[in-house]
Amino acid sequence: MKKSMALDKLLINAVEQLNEEKVMELANKALKDGLDPLALLDLVKEGVIKVGKRYENQQYFIADLIMAGVIFKEVLEMKEIKKHFSSPGKTKAGKLLMGTVAGDLHDIGKDIFIGMMKANGFETIDLGIDVKKEDFVKYALENKPDIIGMSGILSFTVIMMKETVEALTEAGARKHSKIIIGGSHLTEENRMDIGADCFATDASEGVLICKKMLDMNARI
Ligand code: B12
């Protein structure tokens, strides 16, 4: 137990130091020692939050944010994580249409949510990053998803989310679809202002909420 706590700290540290090689070595070791793949992602997330703080304090620069993203993506490519995020087979729990809203290029949170929804039997359509409200509307009308998910990591994206929700409402896309917004900065107050059906600050919480909305049991 003591040993694994130490590994946790080492891993978070290695991410904060942007030591890619060390992160991968520790991540492999942690999984070999039996760490849950999702717990590993939480540790890496803790590390990149520290990178973000250093950026805010001007100890780190944009190149360092880029490196943090590269490291996170490398962890997401590990076979244990990919396996965890793969679809369980033919089960069709529902359809998710997902994108990061206009003006925002962050896609790691979006990809984790998509992975978890896939693992829960959802068919997923990924619109990518910097998605215009017109595209959310177009693909929502075409695909009639059960859930429309929007990711926004930058604080100002609440404005884009609100405009996108308004456009979806005007186009009648909400007849078939529930809207979930996600991002660590979001609050219930934001959700009400934006007009989404629900919000989550964490991907696994988002899956539970979606399953609940569609009345199913979640497998996280
Ligand atoms: C890596 C990174 C980048 C990379 C992104 C690479 C990529 N492929 O995504 C790059 C270099 C592109 C980048 C750019 C910028 N970034 Co940046 N970036 C980060 C960093 C370090 C990590 C982000 C990350 O991946 N976190 C890990 C994931 C797993 O966490 P997450 O995104 O929050 O997602 C979780 C939840 O939010 C939730 N979730 C997310 N979406 C959804 C959706 C649904 C539906 C659900 C249910 C849940 C959900 O689930 C996820 C898992 O639990 C953060 C620091 C931080 N505190 O997050 C800064 C940060 C987000 N960036 C920041 C800034 C300022 C920028 C730039 C403006 C910098 C600049 N001057 O250019 C640009 C903006 C570019 C743009 N237009 O988007 C600020 C944002 C400040 C703010 N409050 O708005 C942060 C917080 C850093 C800081 N502390 O200052 N960045």
CATH of the domain at 151: 3.40.50.280
Q: Look up the domain containing 179 and give its range.
A: 94-213
pLDDT tens string 78-131 = 999 999 998 877 668 899 999 999 999 999 999 999 999 999 999 999 999 999
What is the chain's length? 220
Tell me, yes or no, whether 102 lies in a domain: yes
Q: The CATH number of the domain where 62 resides is what? A: 1.10.1240.10
Pocket flag, ligand 1, residue 152 (CB < 6 Å): no
Distance (Å, rounded) from C-alpha 93 to C-alpha 95?
A: 7
Return phi, psi of residue 31, to 5°.
Answer: -65, -40
The ligand 1 atom nearest the CA atom of 105: 78
Pocket flag, ligand 1, residue 155 (CB < 6 Å): yes
Same domain, residue pair 128 and 198: yes
Amino acid (1-letter code) at residue 195: G
Q: What is residue 87's predicted lDDT score, i.e. its pLDDT?
A: 80
Tell me, yes or no, whether 89 lies in a domain: no
Same domain, residue pair 62 and 115: no
Residue of 128, 55, 125, 117 whose CA lies nearest to 97 = 125
* Ligand 1, atom 33: closest residue by C-alpha: 184
Q: What is residue 218's predicted lDDT score, i.e. its pLDDT?
A: 55
Q: What is residue 2's predicted lDDT score, i.e. its pLDDT?
A: 46
- Domain tally, the chain: 2
CA of 90 relative to ligand 1 center, distance in Å = 33
Same domain, residue pair 156 and 52: no
Tell me, yes or no, whether 219 lies in a domain: no
Same domain, residue pair 71 and 106: no
Q: What is residue 109's predicted lDDT score, i.e. its pLDDT?
A: 98
The torsion angle over the Cα atoms of residues 65, 68, 74 and 76, rounded to 10 degrees, is -100
Pocket flag, ligand 1, residue 182 (CB < 6 Å): yes
Pocket flag, ligand 1, residue 124 (CB < 6 Å): no
Return phi, psi of residue 97, to 5°.
Answer: -110, 125
Place of tokens 């219930």: 188
Tell me, yes or no, whether 205 lies in a domain: yes
CA of 89 relative to ligand 1 center, distance in Å = 31
**Ranges of residues in the chain whose predicted pLDDT is under 50:** 1-3
Beta strands in 81-152 (DSSP E): 94-100, 122-126, 147-151
Stated pTM of the model: 0.96
Same domain, residue pair 118 and 78: no
Question: DSSP code of 131?
Answer: B
Q: What is residue 90's predicted lDDT score, i.e. its pLDDT?
A: 64
